[in-house]
Amino acid sequence: MSNHATNAISFSAVMPWLIGALALCIMPFIFTGGGSITIMNQIGITIVLAMSYNMLLGQGGMLSFGHAVYMGLGGFVAVHVMNIVENQGLWIPLPFLPLVGGLVGLGFATIIGSFSTRKAGTVFAMISLGIGELIAACCIIITVFFGGEEGISGDRTMAPPTFGIEFISQKEVYFLIAFWVMLATFFMYLFTQTPVGKMANAVRDNPERAEFVGYSMRWVRFVSFCAAGFFAGIAGALFAINFEILTEQNLNLGASFTVLLATYIGGVGFFLGPIVGAILFTLLQTVIGLQTDLWALYTGVVFILMVMFMPAGLTGLFAMHIIPWQLGRVGMLIKPYAKIFIPGLIFVLGAICLTELINHVRHHADEELMTLFWIEFNTKSILPWGVFIAFTVVGFWFSRLFAREVKDAWGNATFVEGVRR
């Protein structure tokens, strides 16, 4: 291979990382508000946690209902270390604290994985569920370590300054989290390129064949499990640094389902999928959560629709269009997509408005006026009810009508040598 070709390959491999690093660097200067930076910090933490979960489910095919345990344990130990630094003068700079959390996650993952990875499928999922409930119960029982229902708190500003930085402001914490997001993402990518990382996909798809070529299914699952626990512990320490408090809610079943939702929405099995899912889920949880009490309902509906119609997630949806793009037939899909987009949007807006209206009447019956999408109206009037019902029904009907056209266009756009994809 020529030097020119080698340089081109190297440049194309490095470019995504440079773009990602540049985006992380300029984001706090675009979104300068304290609330925006807090949301971006939370997105970064969720990215690391979701990507570590993707190592289990996406690469290894291990459905876990207790992955938040390793994040929580790493976070709890990180808070205790912060308190030791404050009270006993232990010299540990704050940027090294995620490494401590990662080692804690790795340690517990090694212990739990030594017996849980002996089985796969439903058995593994049930073991992870039991472990998650066990550790969550310990949070209430072992108050010396977990602090009971109130949890434990620390003070990150008591750590020794790093190059004069005391991490008092949220922006300083943001750059610390951004650094660890890039570092963790890079090493998780390197893991996918290792023989064990590649064999994890083989164990997921065809475990018998993986055994035949000389790899132990259990050993591959165990290594992947430990690696996922390590990076989950890093996410936990980053959470401790950002929020300075850990409670039982950070490692219970609900927290594990949260990372499952984020990973699945983004796209299980795709390296970028958890990043997309973490961003969207955090925005749903924070931005939309401030606007409505029903954000969890909408998230659940999105998750159900993903499982039913887009099991590969949003990243998989984009990946599906690689074939039409390579065949030069993407243009065949633009018109059908445009035709279904408008009635689909009307249906979604109508369904959301109708749901919000019902919720308002149910819980705020004494308030006649209500505002939706910057429009104020009287909930006692029949007009908004009629409009929202009409939007929902008409939008759904036309969406079903144009869905047939989209299906036919998709078949024509992916038609290759007599095979429809």
pLDDT in tens, 32-80: 888 899 999 999 999 999 999 999 998 888 999 999 999 999 999 999 9
252 & 345 share domain: no
Domain limit, last residue, from 227, 257, 287: 257
334 & 202 share domain: no
Q: What's the pLDDT score for residue 1?
A: 46
**Residue 137 CA: distances (Å) to CA of 100, 152, 250, 252, 374:** 24, 16, 13, 9, 45
Helix intervals (H) in 284-417:
289-291, 295-309, 313-319, 322-326, 331-363, 382-413
* Nearest one of 18, 121, 50, 67 to 313, comparing CA atoms: 50
Does the structure show a pLDDT above 60 at 4? no
339 & 244 share domain: no
Q: How far apart are the C-alpha atoms of 166 and 178, rounded to whole Å?
A: 16
- Whether residue 301 lies inside any domain: the answer is no
Helix intervals (H) in 55-169:
68-88, 97-116, 121-141, 143-146
16 & 144 share domain: yes
Q: What's the pLDDT score for residue 10?
A: 67
Mean pLDDT, residues 194-199 taken together: 87
Q: How far apart are the C-alpha atoms of 348 and 346, rounded to whole Å?
A: 6
- Whether residue 173 lies inside any domain: the answer is yes
Q: What's the pLDDT score for residue 113?
A: 94
- Whether residue 384 lies inside any domain: the answer is yes
* pLDDT confidence tier of residue 419, bands split at 50, 70 and 90: low
249 & 334 share domain: no
Mean pLDDT, residues 396-413 taken together: 90
Does the structure show a pLDDT above 70 at 7? no
- Whether residue 20 lies inside any domain: the answer is yes
214 & 345 share domain: no
Taking only the tens place, the pLDDT of each residue in 278-320 is 999 998 888 887 788 888 888 888 888 888 888 888 998 888 8
Mean pLDDT, residues 381-402 taken together: 92
Q: Which residues contact 226 (CB under 8 A, 6 or more apart)?
A: 106, 109, 110, 113
Q: What's the pLDDT score for residue 6?
A: 47
Across the chain, mean pLDDT equals: 88
Does the structure show a pLDDT above 80 at 208? no
24 & 130 share domain: yes
247 & 354 share domain: no
Taking only the tens place, the pLDDT of each residue in 74-133 is 999 999 999 999 888 788 899 999 999 999 999 999 999 999 998 888 899 999 999 999
Does the structure show a pLDDT above 90 at 204? no
Does the structure show a pLDDT above 70 at 190? yes
237 & 351 share domain: no
What is the pTM (predicted TM-score) of this model? 0.89
- Whether residue 282 lies inside any domain: the answer is no
Q: What percent of the chain has pLDDT over 70?
A: 96
* pLDDT confidence tier of residue 414, bands split at 50, 70 and 90: confident
Domain limit, last residue, from 257, 286, 308: 257
Residue ranges making up the domain that contains 362: 322-413
The token pair at 124 is: 């593994």
Q: How far apart are the C-alpha atoms of 103 and 101, rounded to whole Å?
A: 5
* pLDDT confidence tier of residue 9, bands split at 50, 70 and 90: very low
Q: What's the pLDDT score for residue 172?
A: 92
* pLDDT confidence tier of residue 417, bands split at 50, 70 and 90: low
Does the structure show a pLDDT above 50 at 8? no
245 & 383 share domain: no
- Whether residue 388 lies inside any domain: the answer is yes
348 & 240 share domain: no
Q: What's the pLDDT score for residue 342?
A: 93
SS3 (DSSP) at 151: coil
Upper half-sphere CA count for residue 47 (Cβ side, 13 Å): 25
- Whether residue 349 lies inside any domain: the answer is yes
Domain limit, last residue, from 222, 238, 257: 257
Does the structure show a pLDDT above 60 at 418? no
Amino acid at 394: V
36 & 124 share domain: yes
Number of domains within the chain:
2
Q: What's the pLDDT score for residue 87?
A: 87
- Whether residue 132 lies inside any domain: the answer is yes
